Amino acid sequence: MSEVALRFKSLFIILFCSCLVLCKEVPNEVEFPKWKIEEKLSAYPFFDRIKSGNNFDIQELAGASSHFLNVSYDLNSPLFSDFMEKERIIFLPKGSQMNYDSEKTFSFPEGSVISKTFRVTEEIRSSRYPTGKRIETRLLIKRGGEWFAVSYLWQEDEKDAKIAYGGAIVRLGTDKNEFDYGVPSRNQCAQCHQVYENEKQTIVPIGPKAKHLNRKIASQNGDQEQLEAWKEAKILVNLPRFGRPKLPNYKDESHTNEERARAYLDINCAHCHQAVASGGINSKLLLNYENSDLTSLGICKQPGSAGKGGGENLKFDIVPGKPEASILVYRMETRNPGAMMPQIGRALTDPLGVGLVKAWIQDLPGQDCR
């Protein structure tokens, strides 16, 4: 072997060994926390600055922990919750990533936390709870490979929030418009979030799906696709270049009545009325946006389990061309606790949502349901 060849061989060996040493010195490890459920919201490390006082932006303070990345996010079509304004944040252990899925909820790493804080809006303010005041924060915490749901009720001074094991009732509104806003108990959280798959009952998040998250957001560089921003930040993997599903914004009047109504039903009803959840299993009514089967969508379908939700002489979930004869409209419109839908998550009627569904049903070609 020539002297030049020997020199190149020696250089290669030195570089290879140096690489091995460096790789060992800088391990790519993620610290996955093992959570315990705290009595106060301020006890969680990502909310440690809550104790410093009120009048703060929860999304700004959420990044105070050095062990977590915080990701604020928004949905194409938001869930109606008695006109409440919501702040949504995902907390990920630093160095970890979400895994994209085109149909189901994204896969999250162990130790992830999804936070949703509810604020009073102008429509439901009261002298005690003015516009902008925080009422509750709900957490979904992934520990031991499963999601744990828990709600926290804010103190009136907003310095902290205490766990609400059995839920809570908060009186909101003014004069004749007063109503009881419900902070859900753990069992009530589970009712909306649970699915049945592979002979197992589990709790899953509702919002973090491709069809809900595929939208533009405001960033320092102008409008940007939300999922693309997550990919660039290296917190989302396996994002396809094409073929990402997208749910319409039901508030966007450029869409048809059908598109808007179906989008509203998807985010507000399909977490329960899907093939793997209790509403879909029991009633056979499937309200997810992708469902194209007219019978399971409710057209001329008699309810599988309506209870008191059938109203007066109503026999079919949807009667094309006749919203006033449709059980679906009645259950969305009524405030009767034994008949209203959804049963958890609202005390008021959403006039926009009801109006969209009525308009869609009115547009359907009339037929005689028997």
Percent of the chain scored above 70 by pLDDT? 85
Beta carbons of 153 and 314 less than 8 angstroms apart:
no
Least trusted range by pLDDT, from 156-165, 216-225, 313-322, 348-357:
216-225
Q: What is the pLDDT of residues 313-335, one digit of tens each?
A: 899 999 999 999 999 999 999 99
Tell me what the pLDDT averaged over the chain comes to: 85
Phi and psi of 6, rounded to 5°?
A: -65, -40
Least trusted range by pLDDT, from 4-8, 64-68, 129-133, 249-253:
4-8
Per-residue pLDDT averaged across 304-319, rounded? 77
Q: Is the pLDDT of residue 51 over 60?
A: no
Top pLDDT among 163 and 219 is at: 163
User: Burial level of 7, CB count in 10 A (0-12/13-18/19+)?
Assistant: exposed
Model pLDDT, residue 170: 97
Instruction: Say how far apart CA 88 and CA 118 lie, in whole Å.
Output: 9
Beta carbons of 213 and 227 less than 8 angstroms apart:
yes
Q: Is the pLDDT of residue 200 over 90?
A: no
Model pLDDT, residue 29: 72
Model pLDDT, residue 61: 36
